[in-house]
């Protein structure tokens, strides 16, 4: 058998079991032979990586270029989710992703851009970066475009920069959340959102104000909005303020903020959802397992990551790529953190959806 020798700790049967294929298929992949599906080949290569076996030279794919991926700090689970999807898709296209993560007081976005330029990257994908900050300068992006370095933005469009952008439809997300709470009988609904200089926060804020006027005929919707930080602590502070003014439900601009709202309610001896209903945003991987499982609006991370990579590859190849913003529709995932409004259980609509139900966004005229 001409199969490359494996370390004693790694046997053909181990690779086959992990990859879910036969040992004959493993042998064909290791020897670079034809007659193996792409899916099976990828499964065997993944098993090699997981078991720590160095790929044979013939199986190593030569990178067609480096691509920078700049994301915020990784404490919010949605950012690692975006990074994983985008990195996987870049690798499948033959590119080598260079992940650049930020945290307070560490390397800045501008410093990462300089480093990536020194490495001769083919393009850069920015996830929820300064392009989403309406108060930030766009000089860094203008400099990249002047140097013919393609860029793609995720969640936030930089004003005046002609680059592909993919975003979750924030207005549709708020429509879904508020409609759900109104159907449950809530009339005192608050919004906990981030600093207003960020474009997604502005869009959620505007949609929330519109919803309160249209659905609840609220005269002054602004008094139901609290701008804070996209963190657990920010959500906790916002919930304390909203609970003090009689709110029975709140929509949060991130799952972390929603978890902070649950913490605030419990610190006051209140129950979620009996006394306070909470809706998050993102559908982070662990929120189905929180107590209670979190009702949230899901960002379509997989579809957005695919679109971002496709747009960047089109830009790199000088193909025609849309430089307008592509809006992706979110889904409302109903779990255990929302329920009928206190003292108005009889008014709550019948036939409410069970936990885990997907509710696709619906916009007027869509």
Per the structure, how many domains does the chain have?
3
Q: What is the CATH number of the domain that holds 23?
A: 1.10.260.40
Indicate whether 177 belongs to any domain: yes
Is residue 163 located within the same domain as residue 209?
Answer: no
pTM equals: 0.79
Same domain, 88 and 23: no
Confidence check: pLDDT of 364 > 60? no
Same domain, 32 and 46: yes
Helices (DSSP H) in the chain: which residue ranges?
Answer: 12-19, 23-30, 38-50, 78-92, 109-118, 139-146, 170-183, 199-216, 232-244, 255-267, 301-316
**Residue 140 — very low, low, confident or very high, per pLDDT cuts 50/70/90?**
very high
Least confident range from 53-67, 149-163, 185-199: namely: 53-67
Residue 144 included in any domain = yes
For residues 321 and 334, state if they share a domain: no
For residue 339, the domain's CATH number is 3.40.50.2300
- Cα 21 to Cα 3: distance, rounded to the nearest angstrom: 16
* Whole-number pLDDT of residue 313: 93
Q: Are residues 44 and 19 in the same domain?
A: yes
Q: Are residues 158 and 77 in the same domain?
A: yes
The predicted pLDDT at position 50 comes to 76
E-strand ranges in 291-346 read 295-298, 325-328, 331-334
The C-alpha angle with vertex 80 and arms to 76 and 84, in degrees rounded to 5, equals: 165
Residue 76 lies in a domain: yes
User: Residue 63: pLDDT above 70?
Assistant: no
Rounded to 5 degrees, φ, ψ at 313 are: -60, -40
Domain limits for position 251: 170-298+330-360
Q: What distance in Å separates the CA atoms of residue 291 and residue 283, rounded to the nearest whole number?
A: 15
* pLDDT of 244 strictly over 50: yes
- How far apart are alpha carbons 268 and 280 in whole angstroms? 20
Q: Could you tell me the pLDDT band of residue 167, with boundaries at 50, 70 and 90? A: very high
Percent of residues, the chain, with pLDDT higher than 90: 65
**CA gap 33, 129 in Å, rounded:** 44
Same domain, 283 and 208: yes
pLDDT at residue 8 in the model: 42
CA dihedral (18, 19, 22, 23) in degrees, to 10, reads -70
Q: What is the pLDDT of residues 17-58, one digit of tens each?
A: 888 888 888 888 887 777 778 778 778 877 777 777 777 766
CB 274 within 8 A of CB 252: no
DSSP structure class, residue 172: H
The pLDDT tens digits of the residues spanning 185-231 come to 999 999 999 999 999 999 999 999 999 999 999 999 999 999 999 99
Residue-level pLDDT at 269: 97
227 and 92 together in one domain: no
């Amino acid at each position: 058998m001409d199969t490359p020798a494996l370390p004693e700790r790694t046997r053909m049967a181990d690779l086959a079991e992990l990859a879910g294929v036969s040992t004959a298929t493993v042998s064909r992949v290791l020897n670079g032979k034809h007659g193996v599906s792409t899916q099976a080949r990828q499964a065997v290569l993944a098993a090699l990586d997981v078991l720590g076996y160095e790929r044979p030279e013939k199986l190593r794919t030569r990178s067609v270029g480096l691509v920078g991926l700049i994301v915020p700090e990784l404490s919010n689970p949605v950012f690692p989710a975006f990074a994983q999807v985008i990195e996987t898709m870049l690798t499948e296209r033959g590119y080598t992703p260079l992940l650049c993560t930020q945290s307070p007081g560490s390397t800045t976005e501008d410093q990462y851009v300089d480093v990536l330029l020194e490495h001769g990257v083919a393009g850069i994908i920015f996830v929820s970066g300064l392009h989403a900050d309406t108060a930030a300068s766009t000089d860094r992006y203008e400099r990249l475009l002047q140097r013919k370095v393609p860029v793609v933005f995720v969640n936030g469009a930089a004003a005046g920069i002609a680059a592909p952008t993919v975003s979750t439809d924030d207005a549709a997300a708020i429509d879904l959340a508020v409609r759900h709470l109104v159907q449950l009988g809530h009339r005192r609904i608050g919004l906990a959102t981030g600093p207003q200089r960020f474009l997604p926060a502005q869009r959620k804020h505007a949609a929330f104000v519109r919803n309160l006027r249209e659905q609840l005929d609220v005269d002054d919707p602004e008094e139901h909005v609290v701008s804070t930080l996209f963190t657990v602590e920010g959500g906790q502070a916002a919930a304390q303020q909203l609970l003090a003014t009689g709110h029975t439900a709140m929509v949060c601009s991130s799952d972390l903020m929603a978890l902070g709202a649950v913490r605030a309610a419990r610190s006051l001896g209140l129950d979620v959802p009996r006394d306070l209903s909470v809706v998050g945003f993102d559908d982070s991987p662990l929120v189905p397992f929180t107590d209670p499982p979190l009702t949230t609006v899901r960002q379509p991370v997989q579809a957005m990551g695919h679109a971002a990579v496709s747009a960047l590859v089109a830009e790199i190849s000088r193909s025609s790529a849309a430089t307008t913003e592509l809006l992706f529709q979110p889904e409302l995932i109903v779990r255990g953190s929302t329920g009928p409004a206190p003292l108005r259980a009889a008014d709550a609509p019948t036939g409410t959806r069970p936990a885990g139900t997907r509710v696709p966004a619906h916009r007027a005229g869509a």
